[in-house]
Structure 1
Amino acid sequence: MESVQNAQSPFASNLGQDGGPDGAAALRAEATTLLRALVGREDAEFHDGQYEAIEALVRGGRRALVVQRTGWGKSAVYFVASLLLRARGAGPTLIVSPLLALMRDQVAAAARAGVRAAAINSANQLEWQDISARLEADDVDVLLVSPERLNNPGFRENHLPELIRRSGLLVIDEAHCISDWGHDFRPDYRRIRHLIEQLPPSVPVLATTATANSRVVKDVEEQLAAGGEEVFTIRGALARDSLRLGVLRLPSPRSRLAWLLTHLEDLPGSGIIYALTVSGAEDTARLLQKAGHKVLAYTGRTDPADREQAEAALKNNEVKALVATSALGMGFDKPDLGFVVHLGAPSSPVAYYQQVGRAGRGTPNADVLLLPGSEDRDIWEYFATSSMPAEGPANAVLRELADGSVLSTAALETLVNLKRSPLELLLKVLAVDGAVERVTGGWRGTGQPWTYDRERYERIAAARVKEQQAMLDYENTGGCRMEFLSRQLDDPAAAPCGRCDNCAGRWFPDDVAAEATDSAGQALSRVGVDVDPRGMYPTGMDRLGVPVKGKIKPDAAISTGRALARLTDLGWGGRLREIFGPGAEETPVDQALLQGCVQVLAQWGWRERPVAIVSVPSRTRPQLVGSLAQGLSELGRIPYLGALQLPHGGPSGGPGGNSAFRLASVWEQFAVPEGGAEWFAANPGPVLLVDDVADSRWTLTEAGRTLRLAGAESVLPFVLALKA
């Protein structure tokens, strides 16, 4: 692989100054004119490496990897190269781009430069026909597609072959996603290697990223080199001179929120506050809004239209901050973003640098502050879902698809006990490996042999553990923080920044206003979240011996329930994670927890008071559930009828699994406590159903159905913890 630092033209020795319309001087002049139109400045010039990458693509038809810091101008490289290639008769550029927010910014940036751009993604399906017509009319210079779109049967069969045939340039943005070592590994990105192999040799390829260490660079280079082509790599210094980094350790979630309440308005301009969980982001946004701050939540639960509006509000400085999860990550472009604050640390320095790199792209100064929490490692572990397949489920999927039949994901759920998201991820991995393929109607096996690569997956899992430790080392380092992050990215230019809290001294205050502490404490002590009832049975339950389908009948359904809190909540979530954590001792409910539950019941607002309490028999926490039900009964003066009976031995299997298998494991396993039916007949009204944790909600659904069939007028589920 050819690699350069602060690159000079790889073609300089072979080019004259006036070598015709495609000579070095003429090409650079043409490229500079396009650059100035793109950025809107008549004095704009290329950064070191920008023109060299453009020339490699336009004159050399080469495969190039550009690793440069956020804000360096990687998009300028592919937009200018696209226009130059189009002017020379090439077809449209195909850009593989990972996020909707990034696509929106890229389309807008392209328009400013006179680039006719369009995007195909899950959010604009109604526009696909128009975009297809524009492509046919050669009215598109740049087409952006998500990596997942490459595996859509309709797109793959009807559009991709023609795009490959006509494409003038292939761009892989956020190319670290190609790599197993990359911090944001996505299986569909690995499909790009096959896409590259299908391209004519004359079509140049560009991969770009701001976050890649040496291992990731090597991995991406190997995949770009498909077919034996040489890769030209331009790698610059990754440190950002504009960022002022700091770490502030505070003793609790309450103190961190109180600090934010006290000092948010002191932070420069507008920015992003990152939280580790959806509930953490939503709770923080709610607290700040109540205190009068203009902020909006931005998470995976935010409606796409609301996300777009939130992005626009931040770009237009209409809000002080977006309180976001990692859903607001790669590609969000606001050059004057003044600050990034993290309430809790991401699980790797590379992921952290990716997020803080949103700030200070077009300003000389931006503040970056990490407020780590003692609960961070628990949350990392809670969300530690592997992006590699487990051997047992993988082989189970392949067995079910071995006969060539086409099965939908929903049908596979009744055959393989994996939840929908892990199952879809597993199918993508198997598809990239060539063992299955997505077709109209679902998935089918290809017949190609597949072997579980245990060594590879164990190696990647070990790398994740190492990354977590490195994040903890960043928090505790006494050296330069920017230098630490740069070294994590194997940046040879890593050096002390002279600006961070370790280099120049603490630049942020650490005082917390008393009223802010009180407000934060009240917010964190807030109790009660809804537990939504199941409305539909999973598809194909007859395959598992359960004779149900479609909607759950009203006379068998449960009502909307309540939980004390989510396991991921900042407040009560910490206590609940202790109770339900691995190896935690099982004990009766304590008074603080019981009083919190009483608050939930007091705030429930039910139309009719429960006439009885029934508990779900717990195999792992019988003392906890039984004492909770008994305590609520005594304090609320509601008769406790006891736990549901298990006439057939109780649910089979352990907790978790997908909806179909979970429902099958609890189906007709419960019976009402002795005398329960007679009680319901004599005392019509709601029944409070008590359990410890709600995950799939099928235990509550089936236990509630049992109570309804025995005569309970309605069932109100109540649990300590909600997993979602």
Structure 2
Amino acid sequence: MMAVMSANTTTADPTTGADLRAEAEGLLRELAGPEARLREDQWTAIEALVVQRRRALVVQRTGWGKSAVYFIAAKLLRARGHGPTVIVSPLLALMRNQVSSAERAGVRAATINSGNVTEWDEIHRQIADGDVDVLLVSPERLNNPDFRDQVLPSLAADAGLVVVDEAHCVSDWGHDFRPDYRRIRTLIGELGEGIPVLATTATANDRVVADVSAQLGVGGAETLVLRGGLERESLRMSVVQIDEATKRAAWLGQQLNRLPGSGIIYTLTVSAARDLAGLLSDQGHAVAAYTGQTDPAERESLEADLLGNRVKALVATSALGMGFDKPDLGFVVHLGAPSSPISYYQQVGRAGRSTDSAEVVLLPGHEDRQIWSYFASVAFPREHVVRRVIEVLDTERPQSTQALEPQVELNRSRLEMVLKVLDVDGAVRRVRGGWVGTGQPWEYDAPRYERLEQARASEQQAMVDYQRTTMCRMEFLRRQLDDPGLTAEPQPCGRCDNCAGPTLTADVDEQALSQARARLDRPGVDLLPRKQWPTGLAKLGVSLSGKITDGPQPGRVLGRLTDLGWGQRLRALFDGPDGPVPDAVVDACVKVLAAWDWDQRPTSVLAMESATRPQLVGSLARRLAEVGRLTDLGSLARTPGHPPVSAANSAYRVAGLAGAWLAPDLGHLDGPVLLLDDLTDTGWTLTMAARELRAAGAPAVLPFALASVN
């Protein structure tokens, strides 16, 4: 345990330590059962908050009882006439679990988040009437204009306690940094005198601890840090090396029923979660996919199914990460490695909290690094892009994110992230109706972003090292998190595959592999056409708006780069040198075309001119023309001198693609054109090219791509 002790502590309550501890023990028994007893560090934290009104950071492993600390402190403070406790909590699953826990201890809890919009007005009224003991809010709420201006000031002045859950999100160095969490520093700075603050997390190394402690210490207050060991005696950790994605999926199908209880299978992408859930379901396993694209109501239902052991597993992305509370979770499997040992520890920490043994299995893939690189590529943009955002903002007239998007070279999600960061930095402000500039000077902190990139690269290498290490796997992770309980001498866990020997082999039954290939290699993904032009194109000199009436028909893609089946083959094809299309790819494309339920069969094929893979695209067009008896129209040539388009933002991309091709005269055609491309991402290239072909006389355009990004 490490503590940063304050020289000046303020005693805010005359209750004796013995009386207060007895009261706290009673509340714990209401919360956790008649046998529950407070840990010494739990009591230290509660006493610091309730009696000394201090600021504290608790870094303890999952299952230690961090939520018990703040619910008990909230109840004790409320009983002594203090205001409600405000808990900033990042995930809906966590909020639902916490509200249920609070009710068991007689705490009146409410939550404000994106999933209960219709209840916000009533909750605001309850807060004003003093009928709420604990208010859980998502970090995004902190800068909602109505909440920030009407509710937050009174809470900041009168709160009994402020809790920052999953506090590693506050830090740039945390594995799940979120811009909205940076507003918490401002919230803490505006708190009334003597309002205690508690920050909690299970995953923080020394750098994150120091950063969060400093942010809690706004105004000169020192932070009490209670930090425990991260050893998890119940976890049996293994790494199983299997060289092919389809084999890994087949292995899971074989092993799933042998894993104890129910659990979570993590994937790195949404498409991998869907594909794997579909495969396992076809094999008779009770599983379901859970991703960031899952409807909130369905998420709640799926969480309940896992809690009630009505499913063997949820196949999930990191959307089911922090805060999901099932103490008897029997296993956590990762199909693909997370990019950080810290985030890996956080996710596997969901397992085995109340069981003697739980299986933790990592199935890494060669494609993991590519996926890490993709997510890293959408980090904070370069300075000139960010300054453009500041330039286009008016200091008086608010502009919505939708209105700003066509004026900057950022897509919607990245623009929202930049605005949040600039808001915290004081350069912009969110108001009713959108965003305004503040006119305040702003500096691009290039050294900080470079340090973050270096830290990200270091964490990725550490995750690769974890897969290869011969030392104890638990000790490896504990050292990555700077576990204060470790000594210089090795401390093997005695349970992982390196300590006790492997219990899981990489063997895959040939029949199981054949079945998995048949399911995952089934080619073809729907390519839905764009239906609406981006707003604000007129500002970029393009007179397009409203619904798209002259674009392509619904199309098809052979496979996604993130697919468990075709993804690996397509990545290999795209990573290798350009050359003629392989026969296996042609055969798969023919199968997709044969299953296509088009209104009218295409009569010709036209390839998009490719600067990087001209042989691949051209040869595929010729082969499909031969097999399908289609007229080969050659390639859709680029307009000479037209600059390449790299903007991810939809409006800028459309504007850049306008006039990009020299379409041939197609007025003689009596049927649709099959428009062939190698890779599709946003869909705007095929949309704009199809529009050019329609203008040149094509009756209809059927887009077809070898691969999509996701």
1:422-443 CA distance string (max 9 Å, x none): 1111111111111111112221
Question: Aligned partners of 1:575 and 1:393: how far apart in 2?
Answer: 35
Q: CA deviation at 1:315?
A: 0.4
Q: Does 1:664 align with 2:655?
A: yes
Mapping of residues 260-409 of structure 1, within 5 Å: 260-401=252-393, 404-409=396-401
How does 1:238-637 map onto structure 2 within 5 Å? Answer: 238-401=230-393, 404-494=396-486, 495-553=491-549, 556-581=550-575, 584-637=576-629
Q: Does the alignment pair 1:109 with 2:101?
A: yes
Which among 27, 35, 54 is matched to residue 34 of structure 1? Answer: 27
Q: 1:618 to 1:20 in 2, by over 3 A?
A: closer
SS of the residue aligned with 1:368?
strand
Deviation at 1:677, TM superposition (A): 1.2
Counterpart-to-counterpart distance in 2, 1:430 and 1:28: 44
Amino acid at match of 1:3: M
- 1:387–1:425 contact (8 Å) kept in structure 2: no
- 1:457: Cα distance to partner? 0.7
Identity %: 59
1:23 aligned residue: 16
Give 1:670 shift. Answer: 3.3
Indicate conservation of the 8 Å contact 1:185/1:387, yes or no: no
Residues 240 and 505 of structure 2 are in contact (CA less than 8 Å); yes or no, is this contact kept in structure 1?
no
SS in 2 for 1:599: helix
Task: Answer yes or no: is the 8 Å Cα contact 1:119–1:145 preserved in 2.
Answer: yes
Other-structure match for 1:697: 683
- Contact 2:57/2:225 (8 A) holds in 1: yes
The corresponding residue for 2:226 is: 234
Question: What amino acid is the match of 1:672?
Answer: A
Residue equivalent to 1:172: 164
Q: Distance in 2 between matches of 1:607 and 1:407?
A: 42
1:303-343 Cα deviation digits (max 9, x unpaired): 21111111111000000000011111000000110000111
Deviation, structure 1 residue 47 = 1.9
Following TM superposition, by how much is the alpha carbon of 1:618 offset from its aligned partner in structure 2, in angstroms? 2.4
| Deviation of 1:20 (Å) | 9.8
Return the alpha-carbon distance in structure 2 between the equivalents of residues 394 and 458 of structure 1: 16
Indicate if the aligned counterparts of 2:158 and 2:192 stay in contact, CA closer than 8 A: no
Residue 209 (structure 1) shift: 0.3
* Alignment partners' CA distance in 1, 2:140 and 2:382: 21
Structure 1 Cα separation of the partners of residues 673 and 381 of structure 2:
42
What is the letter of the counterpart of residue 565 of structure 1? G
CA–CA distance in structure 2, aligned partners of residues 434 and 607 of structure 1: 54
CA contact (8 A) 2:279 2:520 kept: no
Preserved CA contact (<8 Å) 1:388 1:429: no
Matches within 5 A, 1:631-646: 631-646=623-638
Maintained 8 Å contact 2:13/2:50: no
Confirm or deny: 8 A CA contact 2:227 2:484 kept in the other structure: no
Partner in structure 2 of residue 649 of structure 1:
640
Shift of 1:549: 1.1
- The Cα shift of 1:284 comes to 0.6
Q: 1:346 to 1:20 in 2, by over 3 A?
A: closer
Give a deviation string over 1:225-249, Cα, whole Å, max 9, x none.
Answer: 0000010010011111111111111
Q: Distance in 1 between matches of 2:238 and 2:660?
A: 55
Residues 145-186 of structure 1: per-residue CA shift (max 9 Å, x gap) = 111111111211121112212211000000001111100011
SS at match of 2:156: helix
- Counterpart for residue 54 of structure 2: 62
Cα pair 2:409 2:647 within 8 Å, conserved = no
Equivalent position SS for 1:487: helix
The aligned residue for residue 159 of structure 1 is 151
Q: State the alpha-carbon separation in 2 of the partners of residues 170 and 73 from structure 1.
A: 17
| Matched residue type, 1:437 | R
Gaps of 5+ in 2: none
Aligned mates of 2:81, 2:59 — CA distance in 1:
28
Q: Could you tell me how far apart the structure 2 residues matched to 1:423 and 1:21 are?
A: 51
Could you tell me how far apart the structure 1 residues matched to 2:466 and 2:125 are? 51
RMSD: 2.0
Cα deviation for residue 656 of structure 1 reads 4.2
The question of 1:686 aligning with 2:672 is answered yes
Query: Following the alignment from structure 2 to structure 1, what is the Cα–Cα distance between the partners of residues 152 and 621?
Result: 59
- Match of 1:406, SS state, is coil
Bigger shift: residues 88-97 or 372-381:
372-381
Q: Secondary structure at the match of 2:350?
A: coil
Structure 2: distance between partners of 1:510 and 1:395 = 51
Please tell me the residue identity of whatever aligns with 1:693.
L
Distance of 1:485 and 1:20 partners within structure 2: 41
- CA distance in structure 2 between the partners assigned to 1:316 and 1:98 by the alignment: 23
> Structure 1 residues 606 and 34 mapped into 2: Cα distance closer, same or farther (>3 Å)?
same
Q: Distance in 1 between matches of 2:10 and 2:299?
A: 50
1:711 deviation in Å? 3.5
The within-5 A match list for 1:136-151 is 136-151=128-143
Residues 14/412 of structure 1: CA separation in 2 closer, same or farther (3 Å cut):
closer
**CA shift in 2, pair 1:630/1:661, >3 Å:** same
Partner Cα distance (1:432, 1:20) in 2: 35
1:467 shift after superposition: 0.3
Amino acid at match of 1:36: R
Q: What one-letter code is carried by the residue in structure 1 that aligns with 2:366?
A: S
Asked whether the equivalents of residues 10 and 56 of structure 1 are also in contact (C-alpha less than 8 Å), the reply is no
Seen in structure 2, the aligned counterparts of structure 1 residues 466 and 650 have a Cα distance that, compared at 3 Å, is same
AA aligned to 1:689 is L
Deviation at 1:421? 1.1
> Residue 201 of structure 2: which of 199, 209, 213 is its match?
209
Change (3 A) 1:387 1:152: farther
Distance apart, 1:21 and its partner CA? 6.4
Aligned to 1:122: 114
Residue type at the aligned position of 1:568: T
Tell me if structure 2 keeps the 8 A contact 1:650–1:670: no
Letter of the structure 1 residue corresponding to residue 680 of structure 2: A
Cα distance in 1 for residues equivalent to 2:376 and 2:6: 43
Q: Partners in 2 of 1:445 and 1:413 — Cα distance?
A: 15
In structure 1, runs of 5+ residues without a counterpart are: none
* Normalised TM-score (structure 1): 0.94
The letter of the residue matching 2:646 is P
Structure 1 distance, partners of 2:195, 2:2, is 20
Could you tell me whether the CA contact under 8 Å between 1:402 and 1:447 is conserved in 2? no
- Does structure 2 conserve the Cα–Cα contact (< 8 Å) formed by 1:642 and 1:673? no
Once residues 367 and 694 of structure 1 are traced to their aligned partners in structure 2, the CA distance between those partners, rounded to angstroms, is 39
1:198 maps to 190
Cα distance in 2, alignment partners of residues 72 and 233 from structure 1: 15
The equivalent of 1:3 in structure 2 is 2
Question: Within 2, Cα distance between the matches of 1:126 and 1:471?
Answer: 43
Once the two structures are superposed, residues 181-234 of structure 1 have per-residue CA deviations (whole angstroms, 9 ceiling, x without a partner) of: 100011111111010000012100000000000110000000000000010010
The alignment of Structure 1 onto Structure 2 pairs a total of residues equal to: 705
SS in structure 2 opposite 1:327? helix
1:643: how far off?
A: 2.3
1:642 to partner: Cα distance: 2.3
Which one is further off, 141-150 or 615-624?
A: 615-624
Tell me, in whole angstroms, the C-alpha distance in 1 between the residues paired with 2:457 and 2:13.
55
TM-fit CA distance, 1:608: 2.5
